[in-house]
Each structure stands twice: as C-alpha cells, then as structure tokens.
Structure 1
Amino acid sequence: MTRFPRPHHHDVTIAAVGLLGGVTGWALGLRTQGGLIGGPAVLVPLTVMAGLELLRRTAPQFALVVGTFAVVADQFTTGSLVTVLMFTDLVYAAVLYGTPAAARRIPITTGLISVAVALGFLAWLHKPEALLIGVITAVISFAPATTGALVRNHRDAAEAATLRAEQTALLAELDRTQAVVAERARMARELHDLVAGHLSAIAIHSTAALSLDDPATTRTALGVIRTNSVDGLAEMRRLIGLLRDSGATAEPAAAPTLAALDALIAQARTNGAAGGLDFALHDRRPEGAALPAPIELAAYRIVQESLTNAVKHASPGTVTASLAHTGRALLVEVSSPYGNGGARPEPRAPGSGAGLVGMRERAVLLGGSFSSGPEPARDGTKIWRVRAELPLRESESQA
C-alpha cells in the first residue's frame, strides 16, 4: 500500500478553500454547463479534486493523472468552476514540483492535446467556434503548465546562483586560509634565517666563555656574543617593523643579495673560529650575470642557513660555499667537514631541523630541487653537502 508523505499546510489550505468554495457554488446553483448528470453528482469530482490538492507537492504526477479523470468526469455533470480551477493548479504543481523529465514533458503534452482538441472539434462540428474549445483546453492545461515551467526555471536558476555564490565563498575562504598558512610559513623561514645564526653563535660562545677559564678566550667570546646580539636585535627590529607597517605607502625593505655573501662569510668566520672552522667562498658566476630578486634571496638564505648549521655542527676544517650559473639554473653548494674524528673544542648548539625544512621550501617554491646529507670526500674524509638548484626562466637567464 502506497503511503504518501504528510501534506504541506499550504496544500491543506488550498484543498479546504477549494472544497468549501465548490460546495458553496453548488448550493447557490452556480454551474458551468447543462451536463448529462445533475444533482449532487457534481460534488464527486469536486471532492476528488480537493483531495488531490493535498498531494500537489508530495505526489504531483499521481495527482495530475487522477485529476485528469476527475475533470473529464466533471464534464458529464452540471460542472463546477472550482473543480476546473483546482485542476489547473494540479497541472501547475506537477510541472513545478515534479521530476525534471515531467517538467519538460507536461508542457509539450498539454500543448499537443490543446491543438488536437481544437482540430478534432473543428472537424466534428465544422464551425469556427469549435476552435474555442481548443482555446479553453489550452487555458486550463497548457497555460498553467508553461507557467509552472517558467517558475521552475527561475527557481532552479536562483538555486544555482546561490550554490555558485556559496562555492565561491568557500573557495575564497580556502584561498584565504592557504594564503595565511603560506604567509606564516614565509614569516617562519625569514625569522629563523634572520635570528638562528646570531643565537647559535651566542649559545656556542657563551658556553665556551663559561667552560674555559681563559681571560683571552672569554673576552673574545664576549665580543662575538655582543656583535651577534646587536646584529640579531637589529634584524628583529627590522622584521617587527615590516610586520607592523602594513600600509600601502610603506616602502619595501631591501632584500639581501648575493653581493653580501662576502660579509656573511666574514661573520661566519668570526663565529666559527673558536670551533676550528674556516670559511671560503667560490663564486663561479660569469661577470654581469643578472639574477631575479627571488632567486638571489633564496640563494642567500640557503647559504646563510648552511653556514649557521656548519657553525653549530661541523667538525674542524674548512667550510666551502660555491655558486655556479649554468644559464638555466643557479647552483648553490655548501660543504662542511662532518664526523671526521675528534670532538669540537666547544659544545654544539641545539638544532630543531627547521633550517633544512626552510631551505627545501625555498627551493621548491621556485620550482627547484634541494638535497642535503653526508658524502665521502676525495681525501677519504666525510663532508656534509647542501645542494640547491634554482631554475631560471630563459628570459631571466639571458638578462
């Protein structure tokens, strides 16, 4: 047994008003025709049609099929205008609330039926007035069907626009979230690269000053500590200033370039002297070779972080940084002595691995590659090699 869902309260109102209006019209003697069957028989199609109004949303196609038989039966009675009006509402509801296939099929079917009725009665009666029957058929079937199709199309268009707006808002929120995450990662890389080297040098030399009872060593360590403290504080103030000043008129701060590598090597040489480290730079780039600013910044930061790691972890020896321009990419390599026996003169500074992650991210963001790890050297010792390849666009490499 088929069980229909509970009718909508608006449908209950329509059914009640229709039934009451139809009964009132019958009681007052209102009729649309002089049918074959008189008396209260007109109330039967009226009652059936009112009951079908309860199903106009929940079972619109079933209501339309049964309603069609009811409106045909009404033509054999004295007729009720309310019955016909409720039938037009069922046609409208079948298109508006029915399946998409029914919404496409019903207007076409009712249009063809209207034309067929007009032509049929014209052939039967041989009078032009017979066309009015086709017009009336179109008014009670084709007109509400097309109206329902128009309303449904507008409703579907509004729902699609709402869905697109929601999807656009969701995509915008995802983009904003991704932008925030990317900016936080960029800030983390910059903060680490700006401060990690200075703090590592401070940690190493302060430990040396505390553990070695040598006034000269202590004085040298305190000098290095003060230099790195001042430089680190200046870098922190610059970074905080950039974060605070987000106005449109703020001038961009100058990003470090590869021209400052000599100063970076000199600072690393000072920081690593107590650990028996020396530093060298081999710049094999051709004269006048221009590089994009993002490439220079990434290369500078990779060298900077590699030198910081060497100060913290390398065995005594020479740390070598080299640059090479292949025309299609900038190659950055930093090699440092690694695990070649003997303890370092000073304790190592702790590390979290964030530096390697930051260097890899910088290379990947530019479409390049990054690798790091221990390798055997030519003299039988071991070295820790950091290698990054930063690709250049053809137009930039030939600039």
Structure 2
Amino acid sequence: MNVGIDKIGFFTPNYYVDMVDLAHARNDDPNKYLIGIGQTEQAVIPNTQDTVAMAANAAVQILDDDNRDKISLIILGTETGIDNSKSGAIYLQNLLGLSRHARAFEIKQACYGATAGIQMAKDFVNLHPDQQALVVGADVARYGVETPGEVTQGGGAVAMTIAANPEIMKLSKNSSVYSDDIMDFWRPMDRTEALVDGHYSNDIYQQFFVKTIHDYLETNDMQLTDLQALVFHLPYTKMGLKGLREILPEVDEAKQKSLLNEFEASRVYSKRVGNLYTGSLYLSLLSLLDNSTDLKVGDQIGIFSYGSGAQGEFYTGELQAGFKNPIRKANMEKMLDSRTRLSVSEYETMLNQWPKLDAGDYTLDVKNDKAEFTFNGVSESKRQYQSKN
C-alpha cells in the first residue's frame, strides 16, 4: 500500500518587507541579502496571526467533504508554542470543526517537528488505511531588529494531509536519522526571539545532511543519480545551496546542472517568505512541485529535514499523478503578489508589536487582518480565536 502526501496548502500573512529596502536601512550592500543569504522578501507577521491562526488558514485550503470526516489524527509541529501545556492542535481541531474523536497533539524539536509528525502520520495511516492525518508545520521566526539573524526572519504555515494512495507523493518506508546534543540554536522560556550560533549551525546542518543522505543511499542500495531533485529545510535559501554543493562533486556535470536547476525551482517561494522553521522544508517541497518544469510522475525526490539542537532526517518521496496543480500554483502566486509592502519603519513597528510572554490579558484589533482565522487576544489568561466565515 502507498502512503504519503495527498494534499498540501500554505498560508503566510498579508505583509512583507523588501530585502533591498532592509539592506539600505542597515547600510548594507543589497547583494549581501539577495545573493549572500538568498532572500528577496521576508514575511512580516502581525500580532493577529500566531501559529494556531496560521495553521488553520493553511489547513482550511485542503479540507473538503471527502477528507474532513476521514481525519482522525491532527499533529501540529511548531517551536513557537502558545502554551506550555495545552497543544495548539486542540485549538486547530476546534477552529476547523474536525472530529472530536481525533487524536490531536503538538510536537517540538526546533525545525524538525513537522517531519516527526509526518513520520508518525505515515505509520498511523499504514495501520488505518481508511483514515487520514492532518500535519501542519507553523512558526514565527524572530530574532529582532538589527540583530545578525534579522535577515532570516519570516513565518507562515504548511498543512498536509497524509493518506493511502496519495495524489501528490508516496513516501519511502525507510529514512535515515542522526541526532546529537548541540547548542547551535535555542530559545529560552522567557524569550520570543531565538538565540543562534550562526556559523556553527551552518556547519552542523551540512554535516547532518552528508551523514543522513549517504546513510540512506547506502542502506537502500541507491545512487545519488536515482534522485531527480533534492529539497532542503531552508531557514534562508543559501543554506540549502550550501548543503547541495557538499554532494555535487559525486555526480557528473550534467547531473549537477539538473540538481541545481531543481533547487532553484524549490526555493522560489522561500525567497519571498523567509524562514518558517517547521514549515520551511515543506514550503521548499511545494515550490518544487509548482515551479519545476522537468519533473514527471514516478520521479524520486530526496528530502532533508533538520532541526537545531539537533536532529536530521533524510527520506524520499515518489511523485504521483496529481503532483502538479495549476490552481494551487495560481492561488499561491496570488497570495504572495497581493501582500502589502511595508516600509522598514512599518516593519519594525509590526515586529515590536508582537505580544510579550508576560503580557497578561489584552485585546487585538483584527479589522485589518483579512485572513479567515485570527488571534484576537487573551481574556482571563485564555487565548481567543475567531473565524470570520
């Protein structure tokens, strides 16, 4: 039986900052951001969109009468949790009107959380082929104004249904994993902004990629040439390119060119959104599906997931008959093109309006947020959400 990704949807809020504008404001050469980091735009997250609201706005795009009643497992991967006890997946279940008989929980391991959810969901569907799972990676990447990590901020959510006989991608039964206790990135309990040792994290990312891809290929008696494309976790798009360059010398010039071309297709969306932690890898996958012109049904795609701290995993997916979806692509482009471009001053104001962890009760003005689901504030220490439909 084939099990894998049946549907995929994405959401990011209606604001962005242009990286050339940001470079000028920081007295930097724009090419430092455009080429050195590999970003052209960065999503800016208003305080009315947290991980739950963004997850709901992504998931509602892929729910229909056919799959809604089949979903009996709801997993939210996030490192931007909204409660130390209650799972964001419970809020998500309620906002989406999903079955009360579904399991719903949250997974945290830096940017790896959504991949852990997919692997659990895959095993679940293998045991229950008449049921489906909803897996969402949703996050807000924050480092603060005028910090070294400022150019790798962003946010959004990727939602996927995992099902038998999937429309988009059959997932491999096996994967290769590697983990170690490493302090390359972390976020203490009293902070909304992450701390990161950037150069060290880049090195660990590349080491974990090389370890896991080689282990996977050896264990499964495969060659690098068996893979038509590779998708990466992209906290910034140049990071994936660095990983790819580690293994390019292992194939001939024609294959190198092909893999580089597919990588460019895989980072089209991430260049305009920036970092969304647990969802970054799957935004890269979505971008590949929508923007590659050479892939075909049956092609094998290599998938590298990385979460700081650190956990790496490599697995593969086989493209299925429904992997191309022109309507999905058109909607994606419309979402990105219709966003409001903020001045750097407006971006800084919005960034600094993000609620503090000890903010107490407050009410947010949601009239300018056009998304279907919004976060409205806190009342009696309880988070408040609203569906506009």
Scaled to the shorter chain, the TM-score interval is under 0.3
Name the structure, 1 or 2, with higher relative contact order (CA <8 Å, separation 6+).
2
Higher strand share: 2
TM-score (norm 1): 0.24
TM-score normalised according to structure 2 size: 0.24
Q: Higher helix share goes to which structure?
A: 1
Mark the structure with the bigger radius of gyration.
1
